[in-house]
């Protein structure tokens, strides 16, 4: 192999940024489809289309340069959840509640078969995080807070996905390479900040966060993914002592180490386009989704000038080739994957149904309202009653899982549909109505509420409070006032403070993110003709359940391992309803732009001639670019909010942005009735630099803004030619930052 071919092997590109023919010039070793990438730009492509695309990349790679086929990876983290029709299992937190390693292995086998059915041979799973602070948006990707259970699951899932490795033999065609991720302590960051810093002792690092890795390695895991996060300030992508000395040395990992989505760019002195330090720290494969050309050039230069030793390059190539051999991609007898008959089979769906049933945790069941008796009149209500997106959560069809449609799930049923079918089968009457309308008064209502889908940092929360919407509170109160007993089914990626909801409910079920098989919920909640539910509750809390909204959780409402059953009933008296945080000033009110998204209740209005689109600033689609094609303004509008307290307490409006193209005229910032010129704050800054611009709210108050009722918390007016990329805009309780900008004339 030439040096160019070796360096190419160390680089992975995303399908949305590379086409097969590019491999003739850039001999890359691997291709991925990230959360928002689908074959030929279609996130709803069929298994056959996935297999076709993988085949195209493989064909070009085999017939050019050294003829080494690419390795193709995808996030199949709760089943092959990129694929309409695939079996989508509960997210890891629900599997942790099931506490059933044997079932985990079966889920791994089914998932591997469905990934293989689409022609793919590598999944970026299992996540072995041990979440400590449930404000973390990826808590649901963790199985449990118990490292021992995580280690058991690491073994089971790895063996399920890969099968038992046998020396000299390739994996079965229905098996795929697993990825133990994200190394290390991704779930241990301060305040649960995604991609943040785990400020913990080596003892805690090992005892709490490392237990899954030796288990996965002993089970033969062929890859490990490095975490974006850091340990005591050292970014993992540049931490040689952990990646090389510990993972490869002491833990004896012989597979390949892949980076996370331009994560190498977070290493001090590195950028998304260049980071020899990461390879020298022990990374074998850059995940360089859109930066692969620059990474190729910079890594080749570093290999040529000796910044990266030849031995390191060879070791990385060897590890990558070893995985390719193991997957049957090399040599003459290629392992054939791509049998769509493996996808969404009856036994996989049955397994997912079982997993859903075993994942449910019963936290309250006063007066035996559950199981719903046969022949009953039942209402299924709430925003989650007939809502597959809420049921499946993030990493479903798309990265955030927020734009799915019922037709994306031909093999599933929502909780409402499943309960309705089960009630009717038992001779009862069932009505599904999100807003709780009915004709004949039901004796029991199942109200399905919970979190909206999110993935990664999108799910980072300021506290553990579940903010029941006023409509949902009113719905439950209305039902209760009519003497209708209420069963709350709570869909969430984590335990949350739900004191008032628990008190209002007669029964409360933690259902996590169950995926497509809503019938698994009906199996436990609805009595069949024989008067018994098909299954009793088996789930136990994999994390403590908080008694208030503060995190870390000082005194749980329910301990880890808690869970009622029909054979072990219990009466729950009133629980604390005080969140301990000021919900009215919750982050969503004072967060106007969050990583390029505009959270409810805010909305973005831009003048027609301003174009805007999501872009990657420091992570996947974490910012939004605004281009002023003529003079115009972008505005954040919403309900009038009371910002008087913040204004008087010295809080500031913070804009986290990059000026891509400076303005040739004044840039005006309006809050409420006051407009200030930003020129003196940003004028001097060079284009392209990241800025955190702070403007004390008191400056707007002094300029005439009525801070008690601010209905327009942000407007930026600028002249043609101004271009800015905005990542976050929020109110920060920060000391006033000096003089106020000039008031606009």
Would you tell me which residues interact with ligand GLC (CB under 6 A)? 34-35, 75, 124, 181, 260-261, 456, 620
Catalytic position from the list 109, 456, 472, 622: 456
The Cα–Cα gap between 356 and 38 comes to 27
Q: Is 458 a catalytic residue?
A: no
Pick from 251, 245, 297, 246: nearest CA to 271 = 297
What is the distance of C-alpha 205 from the center of its chain?
A: 23
The Cα–Cα gap between 489 and 446 comes to 7
Pick from 489, 526, 375: nearest CA to 442 = 375
To ligand GLC, the closest distance from the beta carbon of 555 in angstroms equals: 32
Q: Are 666 and 742 in contact (CB under 8 A)?
A: no
Q: Are 448 and 416 in contact (CB under 8 A)?
A: yes
Which residue's CB is nearer to ligand GLC, number 173 or number 320? 320
To ligand GLC, the closest distance from the beta carbon of 85 in angstroms equals: 21
Which residue's CB is nearer to ligand GLC, number 354 or number 460? 460
Helices and strands (H and E) in the chain: how many: 21, 30
Which residue's CB is nearer to ligand GLC, number 75 or number 458? 75
In sequence order, what are the residues at sequence separation of 6 or more whose Cβ sits closer than 8 angstroms to the Cβ of residue 696?
Answer: 650, 651, 652, 653, 736, 737, 740
Which residue's CB is nearer to ligand GLC, number 456 or number 506? 456
CA dihedral 482, 486, 492, 495 (to 10 degrees): 110
Tokens of 211: 């237990």
Tokens of 320: 């990558």
The Cα–Cα gap between 268 and 234 comes to 9
To ligand GLC, the closest distance from the beta carbon of 182 in angstroms equals: 6
**Three-state SS for 496?**
coil
Q: Are 563 and 117 in contact (CB under 8 A)?
A: no
To ligand GLC, the closest distance from the beta carbon of 4 in angstroms equals: 26
Q: Is 109 a catalytic residue?
A: no
Pick from 412, 407, 373, 372: nearest CA to 392 = 412
Containing 500, the helix (H) or strand (E) segment is helix 499-504
**Three-state SS for 371?**
coil
Which residue's CB is nearer to ligand GLC, number 30 or number 468? 30
DSSP code for 186: G
To ligand GLC, the closest distance from the beta carbon of 35 in angstroms equals: 5
Which residue's CB is nearer to ligand GLC, number 15 or number 654? 15
Diameter of the chain measured on Cα atoms: 80
Q: In what order do the strands lie in the sheet with 668-671?
A: 603-606, 632-637, 714-718, 668-671, 674-677
Beta strands 603-606 and 610-615: pairing type?
unpaired
Which residue's CB is nearer to ligand GLC, number 65 or number 259? 259
Describe the crossing of helices 346-359 and 101-117 by its angle, rounded to 10 degrees: 140
To ligand GLC, the closest distance from the beta carbon of 129 in angstroms equals: 10
* Measured CA distances, 411 to 45, 116, 215, 394, 682 (Å): 16, 18, 33, 18, 53
**Beta-bridge partner residues of 636:** 604, 714
Question: Could you identify the residue written with the tokens 């995926």?
Answer: 515
To ligand GLC, the closest distance from the beta carbon of 82 in angstroms equals: 10
To ligand GLC, the closest distance from the beta carbon of 197 in angstroms equals: 16
Which residue's CB is nearer to ligand GLC, number 89 or number 124? 124
Q: Are 402 and 452 in contact (CB under 8 A)?
A: yes
To ligand GLC, the closest distance from the beta carbon of 637 in angstroms equals: 31
Which residue's CB is nearer to ligand GLC, number 183 or number 409? 183
First to last CA, the chain: 67
Residue nearest to ligand GLC (CB): 124
Number of CB atoms found within 10 A of residue 128's CB = 34
To ligand GLC, the closest distance from the beta carbon of 14 in angstroms equals: 8
Question: What is the dihedral sign for C-alpha 546, 551, 554, 559?
Answer: positive
To ligand GLC, the closest distance from the beta carbon of 234 in angstroms equals: 18
Strand ranges, E, within 85-190: 122-123, 179-183
The Cα–Cα gap between 337 and 445 comes to 46
Which residue's CB is nearer to ligand GLC, number 71 or number 521? 71
The Cα–Cα gap between 156 and 103 comes to 8
To ligand GLC, the closest distance from the beta carbon of 21 in angstroms equals: 23
Which residue's CB is nearer to ligand GLC, number 398 or number 548? 398
In sequence order, what are the residues at sequence separation of 6 or more whose Cβ sits closer than 8 angstroms to the Cβ of residue 697?
Answer: 643, 646, 647, 651, 652, 653, 671, 707, 731
Which residue's CB is nearer to ligand GLC, number 8 or number 35? 35
Catalytic position from the list 146, 260, 460, 463: 260
**Three-state SS for 399?**
coil
Please list the active-site residues.
Answer: 260, 456
């Amino acid at each position: 192999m030439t040096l160019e071919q070796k360096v190419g092997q160390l680089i992975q590109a995303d399908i949305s940024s590379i086409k097969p023919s590019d491999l003739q010039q850039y001999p890359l070793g691997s291709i991925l489809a990230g959360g928002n990438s689908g074959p030929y730009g279609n996130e709803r492509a069929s298994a056959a289309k996935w297999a076709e695309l993988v085949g195209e990349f493989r064909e070009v790679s085999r017939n050019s340069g050294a003829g080494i086929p690419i390795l193709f990876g995808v996030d199949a983290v709760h089943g092959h959840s990129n694929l309409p029709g695939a079996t989508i299992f509960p997210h890891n937190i629900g599997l942790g509640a099931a506490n059933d390693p044997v079932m985990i292995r079966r889920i791994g086998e089914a998932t591997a078969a469905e990934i293989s059915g689409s022609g793919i041979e590598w999944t970026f799973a299992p996540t072995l995080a041990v979440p400590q602070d449930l404000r973390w948006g990826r808590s649901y990707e963790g199985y449990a807070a118990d490292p021992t259970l995580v280690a058991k699951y690491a073994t089971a899932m790895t063996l399920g996905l890969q099968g038992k490795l046998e020396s000299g033999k390739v994996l079965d065609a229905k098996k795929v390479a697993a990825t133990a991720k994200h190394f290390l302590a991704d779930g241990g960051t301060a305040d649960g900040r995604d991609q943040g810093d785990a400020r913990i002792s080596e003892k805690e690092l090992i005892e709490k966060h490392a237990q899954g890795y030796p288990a996965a390695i002993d089970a033969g895991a062929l890859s490990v993914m490095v975490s974006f996060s850091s340990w005591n300030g050292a970014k993992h992508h540049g931490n040689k002592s952990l990646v090389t000395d510990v993972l490869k040395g002491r833990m004896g990992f012989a597979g390949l180490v892949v980076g996370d989505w331009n994560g190498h760019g977070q290493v001090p002195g590195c950028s998304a386009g260049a980071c020899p330090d990461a390879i020298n720290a022990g990374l074998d494969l850059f995940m360089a989704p859109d930066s692969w050309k620059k990474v190729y050039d910079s890594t080749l230069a570093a290999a040529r000038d000796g910044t990266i030793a030849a031995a390191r390059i060879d070791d990385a190539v060897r590890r990558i080739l070893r995985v390719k051999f193991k997957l049957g991609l090399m040599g003459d007898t290629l392992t054939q994957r791509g049998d769509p008959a493996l996808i969404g089979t009856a036994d996989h769906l049955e397994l997912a149904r079982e997993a859903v049933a075993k994942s449910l945790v019963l936290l309250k069941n006063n007066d035996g309202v559950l199981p719903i008796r046969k022949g009953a009149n039942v209402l299924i209500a709430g925003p989650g009653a007939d809502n597959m997106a809420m049921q499946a959560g993030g990493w479903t069809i798309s990265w955030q899982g927020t734009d799915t449609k019922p037709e994306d799930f031909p093999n599933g049923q929502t909780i409402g549909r499943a309960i309705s079918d089960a009630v009717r089968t038992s001779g009862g009457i069932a009505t599904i109505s999100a807003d709780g309308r009915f004709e004949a008064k039901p004796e029991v209502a199942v109200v399905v509420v919970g979190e909206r889908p999110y993935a990664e940092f999108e799910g980072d929360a300021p506290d553990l409070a579940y903010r029941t919407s006023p409509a949902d509170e009113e719905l439950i109160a209305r039902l209760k006032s009519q003497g209708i007993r209420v069963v709350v089914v709570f869909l969430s990626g984590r335990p949350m403070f739900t004191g008032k909801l628990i008190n209002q409910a007669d029964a409360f079920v933690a259902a996590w993110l169950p995926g497509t098989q809503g019938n698994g919920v009906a199996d436990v909640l609805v009595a069949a003709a024989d008067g018994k539910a098909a299954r009793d509750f088996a789930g136990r809390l994999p994390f403590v359940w908080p008694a208030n909204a503060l995190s870390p959780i000082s005194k749980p409402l329910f301990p880890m391992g808690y869970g009622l059953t029909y054979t072990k009933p219990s009466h729950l008296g009133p629980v604390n309803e005080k969140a301990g945080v000021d919900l009215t000033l919750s982050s969503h009110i004072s967060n106007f732009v969050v990583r390029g998204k505009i959270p409810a209740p805010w909305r973005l209005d831009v003048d027609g001639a301003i174009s805007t689109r999501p872009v990657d600033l420091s992570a996947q689609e974490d910012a939004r670019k605004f281009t002023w094609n003529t003079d115009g303004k972008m505005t954040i509008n919403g309900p009038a909010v009371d910002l008087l307290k913040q204004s008087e307490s010295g809080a500031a409006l913070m804009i986290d942005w990059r000026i891509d193209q400076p303005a040739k005229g004044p840039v005006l910032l309006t809050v409420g009735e006051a407009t200030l010129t930003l020129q003196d704050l940003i004028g001097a800054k060079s284009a392209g630099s990241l800025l955190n611009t702070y403007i004390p709210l008191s400056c707007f108050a002094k300029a005439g803004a009525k801070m008690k009722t601010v209905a327009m918390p942000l407007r930026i007016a600028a002249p043609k030619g101004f271009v800015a990329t905005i990542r976050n805009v929020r109110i920060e309780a920060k000391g006033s930052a000096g003089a106020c900008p000039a008031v606009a004339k």
